[in-house]
Amino acid sequence: MAHVPVLMAELMDLLDVAADSRVIDCTFGAGKHAAAVAERLGPQGSFIGCDRDPIARGYFEQLRPRLRAPARFYPGDFADTLSQLARSGQSATHIYMDLGVSSMQIDTVERGFSYSWDAPLDMRMDPTTAFTAADILNGWDEGRIARIFSEYGEERYARRIARAVVRRRGMSPFSRTSELVDTVKEAIPTPARFGSRNPARRVFQALRIAVNDELAALRRALPEALSLLEPGGVLAVISFHSLEDRIVKDFFVAQARPCTCPPDFPLCVCGRESTMEIMTAKPVVPSDRELEINPRSSSAKLRAARRL
């Protein structure tokens, strides 16, 4: 399946990129959102794309001829890239993040992101790193495995599945996605095996987040992005997980709050001023039409805030 960009029109409306904008795409992927930005940028603007997946550079090179603005690509984790740019004195008028896993990663069978095919238990967004999903399943203790299944996957049967994982690896180490799918199905109650979606999907999500340390990267990236934004600049984030959305929401709320003094203080003594204005009172979600065209967009939420 070709990668279908999520919330494209809504993101472009919130960003409102102009010809002279300086834009940072933190998760370039297949460059679909970037292509829409490219149509609006002129020679007086600039574009920076970054992605930890080496495949993304090829898509960037394909887009480069359509970019009239000066453009650069930075490989690696977007939190590290934003920190590097901030230290170098870079600034931006628009920064956006499209979190989670892309269709090009899910549909590349050998990368092991999908429970739909038998493949190595990999799930690395950056294949040059050493830590894989198999390392978690074969090396972490039962409690730690159960915790990520519960917190990252919001899996109801996290403890039962973790117990089954430890029992199964005692006979033979995990190496294939089909082994994990079978283990999940055997661990959960019989009725739970026959829902409308694969019962292993939450476990796969949890492992992917843990392998790539996605939540920690997001927490590091948000303040770095804020430091790069010029007054009036916009930061927009598309998330696909409740924990991601909560991190973004809490960050925006904290930056929009003008005072951190206890509520019983008669006067403000902290002197803190708001640094951001929230542009989305509630998260923007896909329309019925988008859900029909792209069912994978069902969990997407878009939030945006403007630098004051």
Please write the tens of the pLDDT for every residue from 255-280. 999 877 887 887 777 878 999 999 99
Q: Quick one: tokens of 102?
A: 């892309």
Can you give the pLDDT at residue 170? 97
Can you give the pLDDT at residue 3? 62
What domains are there in the chain, each with its CATH number?
8-104+214-307 (3.40.50.150), 122-212 (1.10.150.170)
Higher-scoring residue by pLDDT: 101, 84: 84
Give, in order, the Cα–Cα distances in Å from 14 to each of 9, 46, 95, 227: 9, 18, 11, 20
Tell me the pLDDT of the chain averaged across its residues.
95
**Beta strands 92-98; 22-25: pairing state:** parallel
Q: Give dist(CA 177, CA 120) in Å, integer.
A: 6
Can you give the pLDDT at residue 185? 97
pLDDT digits (tens, 9 = 90+) for 226-249: 999 999 999 999 999 999 999 999
- Give ∠ CA 255-29-34 in degrees, rounded to 5: 70
